Amino acid sequence: MATSPRPTSPRTTPPGSTVNVYSNGPSVTGTPGRVRLGKDMPDLPNSTDAPTLHAARSTDSANGRSWMDEKRKNIAAYEYLCRIGEAKQWIEACIQEELPPTTQLDEGLRNGVVLAKLARAFDPDLVRRIFEDPKLQFRHSDNINYCFQFMAKVGLPTCFTFELTDLYDLKNFPKVVYAIHALSHLLAKKGIAPKINNLVGKLDFTDAEVDAMQENLDNSGIALPSFGNVNKTLEKEMAPTKTPEELRAEYLAEHTPEIVKCQSAARRHLAARRVAGLRAERERVRREQELARRREEERVARLRRQQEVETPAAVCIQSVLRGHLARKQVGALRRELVRITPAIVKFQAHARGFLARKHAQSRRNFYAKNEEAIVAIQSWMRSKKQHSAYSALLANDNPPLPVVTKFIHLLDVGAHDLEDELAVENMKQHAVKQIRENAALEQHLNDLDIKIALLVKNRTTLDEVVKVSSKKLKKTLSDEEIKKAAQVFSLKSLDKQSRTKLEAYQNMFYLLQTQPQYLTKLLWVMRNWSSEVVKRLVETCVLTLFSFAQNAREEYLLLKLLDSAIEIEVGDVVEMGDFVKGNPSFIKLVLQYVRGAKERQFLKSVLQPAVEKVCRCPLDLETDPIQVYKQLIKEEESSTGHKSAKRYEVTREEALKDKATVERIQRNYETLETFVQDMLGSITNSLGRMPYGIRFIAKQLYGALVVKFPKEKPENTLRVVGNLIYYRYMNPAIVAPDAFDVSSDPISPLNRKNLSEVSKMLNVIATGKQVDGHLAMASKYIESASTAFLKFLQQVMAVPAPETHLNVDGYSDATRTTKPVIYISANEIFFMHSTLHQHADEVCGGAEDPMRTVLETLGTPPGYQQDKTGPEISLSLTPTYAGSESGGAADYELRRLFVATKKEVILVIRAQPYGANLLDVLESHVTDRDEARFDMLQGEAAPLYASMASLASSSPTIASAGRNGSSPTVASEPPASLLQLKRHVLESMAKLESAGLVTRKDKYQSMLSSIVQDVRNKHKRRQQVQLEKAALEATLTTLDDKNKFLVDQEKSYADYINMCIQQLTAHQGAKKRRTLPFSRHARHVRDLEKQNKAVPKFGSYKYNARELIDRGVVVSIDVDNFPAKLYDRLNITLSSNEQGVFDIETSFNAIGLPVATEHDSIKLEDLLALQFENKTEIQMFEGAVTVNVNLLIYFINKKV
């Protein structure tokens, strides 16, 4: 009978089972579930009736066996069966197979298959092959040997192992079970196998099974091993022998608490003895001190009693004697002093004089010795005091007038300040002109480059090259055109109508420059325009309007325009992906803005090392399996001249099966990853040098996207910013480094292709696009690099506001010493006028809109030409125009009045530097001393006015401003007197108060606070001018260098063209190559002569279709009802009478039929373009003939 599949507790075993018979009896200590044997226990139950069991007992008693031995043996047999069940269950858990029942397990293990599987479960390499056969053979011993080898390998002591015959011949199966138990404990201790369960008392067996097992044990005479102590025995056998020192250390470690406790008790006893001795000594000293104190008190008491008796009489006598002696001594001293008083006074005077002279001389010597230190200390004290006062000025939002008076002199405008600003303005004008000239020169060189490339590679004619090279770089207009344009914008014209139009144009461009809503709406409308020329002209006009952001003011205004455009563009998209997929109208302005001279220098410093490293690589880094496969075929066909045996059109999986393709891809990928890592490191390490403009635009774009899509993940929003920073800004400089001055060396097609591969992977990293199939192997690297690039983008956007970085605010124009000037052509002015007039309803607001008023003043726009620019003029911008005092112009006039009044207030405060507040100063009485101080200040300012006049006469900008009737503020005429100046200030204050800019309630403190703000920003303004000056100097140097390079390149192109012309002339005069008289080509030439046809200039060759098909040049011929056997009669003639153009003629000649001909032509440049695009076939004759592109080029180069 098999064992029960469900283990049960001995207490819950149903009645009649083997284990639960004695459940009511006492249990054995330490063995749960086992019942202690006693004389009063009932006999073991049987599944049969009780009489049978009683008969068995009687029979056993008759044989001389006591009931105690019978019970003990039955229990031993049951426990042995449980141990076998434990081993069976553990083996099943290890090998995941079901074994025979417990009573038949010995036969199941006898062939060693189960034990070999057990060894292979833990050490697969150990068991090479398990021999299995239904019949027991000696070869089964190999399986048992595998188990012995495994036991030895895991370190099972030999005392636990069994012999081969113990299992194979079943001589000692209990020892086998014992060895399995020991092995289970060893493997469980090592943590590589489950622990064996204790099933004693949990398995049910029939009496027959228990009796049979007991009979088997009795017959074999084998003593059962102690299964319960197998774990302890195993630990004892495997434990190393300990030395006496180790035993002593172990004993100490085990009995440390007792030793510490004993030591603590000993220390307490010794401490108690010492404390008792100290207490006794202290008590003895205290008693002695108490006795001495009582004796001293008794002695003092006796002395006091004796003194009380003798003191009164002694005191009286002493007092009388002291009084008499004192009076006598004082009288003698008085008489002596009266006698020597004159001598004492004289001596004291001499002594005081000597000491005073000595002290003064010592101080003079000290000062002379430490003069430098004293001066330094005084200077430090003055600076400290001045610094404290200036700190109070900076810290206080509304400082009092006395504090402001101390530092108001810092606002003096010197001639050098004006010279610096004028120098910046002139350099800006030069930079704008140089940028325009370089752009035109680059366009001219691009045209020449294209034509020369076609001349060299595609064999085109020189006519177009000569035509382009003969064109001038700048179109010089006729004198009549220049005169006509100058008359419209003449600053010297006295015509009222011309003056009104000039002022209106000045105001129109000022509004476009300072009010971003107009250009933003215009760019928004421009999205639907179809003419690319008009779009390009608008973008050029806008960049000209902002002077290509060459100084802080124009850069500030351009950034405000881009910020406004970003808000409109982002607000119109429905999904974030639409913004990336689309082409926002303002993006070209952003790219033009961030590609100035400064930005080009940045891109060059960041990308040049990595780009040059890629250009030095001689390999083709293509990673697309299909393209690599086709490239290998192309190389094979170009080198051999025969069609490749490989199939050209394959899938990606089929391409990856090609060994050469896989090797090429692996090589290219390893090289590509190195280049990408270098390029990415250069970009992320350039954060501190990145221009402010692109960082601010990225910040505003991120903010607008967050507002529009608040639920979008931040990393997705950063990906859009990454598209702007990398794809829009840096990627073009990587793909075309020669166009961005990143590389001065020419870029070969191979290098350009490799740079494109690097750019693709960088674009995936920056924008988070889905990895293409050919980049799948780099997905792990791309993921880690993309995470690092997101952190870089967060740092890119950490920039301050433009007002803080550029130090520009709404009052900047009012405080300028010169008016803003732009350099623009008349054609661009008319185009902008026409565009605004055409879209006035979309761009302008209501009827009171200033721009609408300007357009009404200008009237109908004049005509213009889209492809011309014309001569440039300088246009001073002003917000005022004839007949308008509203809108932006009125606001500007108020700002000008505020600034002019502030300058007059500064002069008043310097002339009258006293008073509690500004109102008291303005209303106070003017004294002659105040007038004299005012005249002195006017005299100090006279040289400044003189220098302003001289600079105005030499500067066209200031001269034009003066001729416009609005001179700079600092150049205005000085007031006649202080009283007149104060009256004018009070009138201006009244106007400003009516506008709400100042108020008498706070004593005009707002005006005083504005003066304080100017004091604070004066130094920043000077620094800003110096920075602009230095930046413009560097820009001009770069532009001049680039201009020289372009001029030299133009000269080299011209020399090359002249050389080509000379070679062409020499080639035309050379003798033609002679033709063999009896060759096929000679017969073809004679046929042409018979037909009165001229032989083509560059040759003519005739073949039949069968020959070209065999050579692989012709792939297929698809003509209805034209059999392949007639291909021999189909002639194909290839001729060329013009460079780079090839005529192909097909003719079919059959007996009795007229000759049928078809003509077609193809250009070599078209064939090269198809080869570059990896297109291997081209259809000709309206799809009737399919030709192999690579072999056709090879055939042409060989024949022509």
Q: Could you please report the per-residue DSSP string of 426-480?
A: HHHHHHHHHHHHHHHHHHHHHHHHHHHHHHHHS---SHHHHHHHTS-SSPPPPHH
Contact 1135, 1096 (CB under 8 A): yes
User: Region 998-1003: what's the mean pLDDT?
Assistant: 84
User: Region 783-803: what's the mean pLDDT?
Assistant: 87
Highest mean pLDDT among 460-469, 537-546, 568-577: 568-577
pLDDT over 60 at 837, yes or no:
yes
Contact 823, 476 (CB under 8 A): no
Query: How crowded is residue 42: how many other Cβ atoms within 10 Å of its Cβ?
Result: 11
Q: Would you state the structure tokens that stand for residue 585, as one six-digit string?
A: 């109208």
Q: What is the pLDDT of residue 751?
A: 84
pLDDT over 90 at 355, yes or no:
yes
Q: Would you state the structure tokens that stand for residue 627, as one six-digit string?
A: 């393209």
pLDDT over 80 at 604, yes or no:
yes
Least confident of 176-180, 727-731, 1092-1096: 1092-1096
Q: Would you state the structure tokens that stand for residue 520, as one six-digit string?
A: 């933003």
Q: What is the pLDDT of residue 361?
A: 93
Q: What is the pLDDT of residue 969?
A: 38
Contact 744, 727 (CB under 8 A): no
What gap in Å lies between CA 900 and CA 1007, rounded to an integer? 12
State pLDDT tens for residues 500-522. Answer: 788 888 888 888 888 888 888 88
Task: Write a three-state SS string for 720-746.
Answer: HHHHHHHHHHHHHHHHCHHHHCCCCCC
Q: What is the pLDDT of residue 1142?
A: 83
What gap in Å lies between CA 95 and CA 152, rounded to an integer? 20
pLDDT over 60 at 277, yes or no:
yes
- Residue by residue, DSSP assigns 589-610 as HHHHHTTSHHHHHHHHHHHHHH
Average pLDDT, the chain: 75
Contact 406, 1011 (CB under 8 A): no
Please tell me which residue, 200 or 402, carries the higher pLDDT value.
Answer: 200
Q: Would you state the structure tokens that stand for residue 488, as one six-digit string?
A: 């419209």
**Residue 728 β-bridge partners:** none
pLDDT band at 579, cuts 50/70/90?
confident
User: Region 547-565: what's the mean pLDDT?
Assistant: 80
Q: H-helix or E-strand containing 1016?
A: helix 1005-1069
What gap in Å lies between CA 1025 and CA 1013, rounded to an integer? 18
> Which residue has 């101390």 as its token pair?
406
What gap in Å lies between CA 246 and CA 583, rounded to an integer? 83
Please tell me which residue, 88 or 618, carries the higher pLDDT value.
Answer: 88
Query: How crowded is residue 846: how many other Cβ atoms within 10 Å of its Cβ?
Result: 6
Contact 90, 196 (CB under 8 A): yes
Q: What is the pLDDT of residue 358?
A: 92
Q: Would you state the structure tokens that stand for residue 110, as one six-digit string?
A: 């006898």
**CA angle in degrees (0–180, nearest 5) for 308-309-310:** 100
pLDDT band at 1062, cuts 50/70/90?
low
pLDDT over 50 at 27, yes or no:
no
Q: What is the pLDDT of residue 85?
A: 92
Threshold 0.75, pTM exceeds: no
Question: Max Cα separation, the chain?
Answer: 187
Contact 566, 700 (CB under 8 A): yes
Contact 828, 541 (CB under 8 A): yes
Return the exposure string of 566-596: e unless at least 16 CB atoms fall within 10 Å of the residue's CB, then b. bbbbbeebeebeebbeeebbbbbbbbebbbb
Least confident of 406-420, 476-490, 705-719, 1028-1042: 476-490
Sheet strands (E) in 7-108: none
Q: What is the pLDDT of residue 354?
A: 93
Q: What is the pLDDT of residue 177?
A: 93
pLDDT band at 884, cuts 50/70/90?
very low
pLDDT over 90 at 616, yes or no:
no
Contact 622, 575 (CB under 8 A): no
State pLDDT tens for residues 1132-1148. Answer: 888 887 766 888 888 87
Sheet strands (E) in 148-227: none
What gap in Å lies between CA 884 and CA 891, rounded to an integer? 12
Highest mean pLDDT among 556-570, 945-959, 1152-1166: 556-570
Q: Write 372-378 long-range contacts (CB < 8 A, 24+).
A: none
**Residue 1180 β-bridge partners:** 1185
pLDDT band at 606, cuts 50/70/90?
confident
Contact 141, 162 (CB under 8 A): no
Highest mean pLDDT among 109-113, 659-663, 858-862: 109-113
Please tell me which residue, 398 or 695, carries the higher pLDDT value.
Answer: 695
pLDDT band at 1155, cuts 50/70/90?
low
What gap in Å lies between CA 794 and CA 721, rounded to an integer? 9
pLDDT over 70 at 774, yes or no:
no
**CA angle in degrees (0–180, nearest 5) for 725-726-732:** 120
Please tell me which residue, 343 or 21, carries the higher pLDDT value.
Answer: 343
Q: Would you state the structure tokens that stand for residue 1024, as one six-digit string?
A: 């800003």
Listed residue (477, 709, 680) closest to 571, CA to CA: 709
Please tell me which residue, 943 or 731, carries the higher pLDDT value.
Answer: 731
Please tell me which residue, 468 or 337, carries the higher pLDDT value.
Answer: 337
Q: H-helix or E-strand containing 823?
A: strand 821-825
pLDDT over 90 at 82, yes or no:
yes
Q: What is the pLDDT of residue 1067?
A: 46
Q: What is the pLDDT of residue 357?
A: 93
What gap in Å lies between CA 997 and CA 994, rounded to an integer? 8
Listed residue (708, 468, 694, 444) closest to 576, CA to CA: 708
State pLDDT tens for residues 452-472. Answer: 654 554 444 334 444 444 444
| DSSP letter, residue 9 | -
Contact 1052, 448 (CB under 8 A): no
What gap in Å lies between CA 985 and CA 82, rounded to an integer? 117
Query: How crowded is residue 728: how many other Cβ atoms within 10 Å of its Cβ?
Result: 17
pLDDT band at 416, cuts 50/70/90?
low
What gap in Å lies between CA 1087 and CA 1080, rounded to an integer? 11
Give Cα separations from 216 to 19, 168, 174, 210, 223 (angstroms). Answer: 21, 17, 11, 10, 12
pLDDT band at 558, cuts 50/70/90?
confident
Listed residue (691, 665, 681) closest to 613, CA to CA: 681
Listed residue (407, 411, 421) closest to 1019, CA to CA: 411
Q: Would you state the structure tokens that stand for residue 494, as one six-digit string?
A: 């006295």
Q: Write 380-385 long-range contacts (CB < 8 A, 24+).
A: none
pLDDT over 50 at 873, yes or no:
yes
Interacting residues of 445 by C-beta distance below 8 A, sequence separation 6+: 1046, 1049, 1050, 1053
What gap in Å lies between CA 1075 and CA 1063, rounded to an integer? 24
77, HSE (Cβ side, Cα atoms, 13 Å): 23
What gap in Å lies between CA 453 and CA 440, rounded to an integer? 20
What gap in Å lies between CA 394 and CA 392, rounded to an integer? 5
Phi, psi for residue 327 in degrees, rounded to 5: -65, -40
Q: Would you state the structure tokens that stand for residue 514, as one six-digit string?
A: 């300072």
Give Cα separations from 904 to 376, 937, 983 (angstroms). Answer: 38, 12, 11
Q: What is the pLDDT of residue 870?
A: 57
What gap in Å lies between CA 74 and CA 246, rounded to an integer? 46
Phi, psi for residue 722 in degrees, rounded to 5: -65, -35
Phi, psi for residue 846 in degrees, rounded to 5: -75, -165
Instruction: Find the Cα–Cα–Cα–Cα dihedral 696, 700, 705, 711, rounded to 10°.
Output: 90
> Which residue has 């803003």 as its token pair?
820
Q: Would you state the structure tokens that stand for residue 935, as one six-digit string?
A: 């005249």
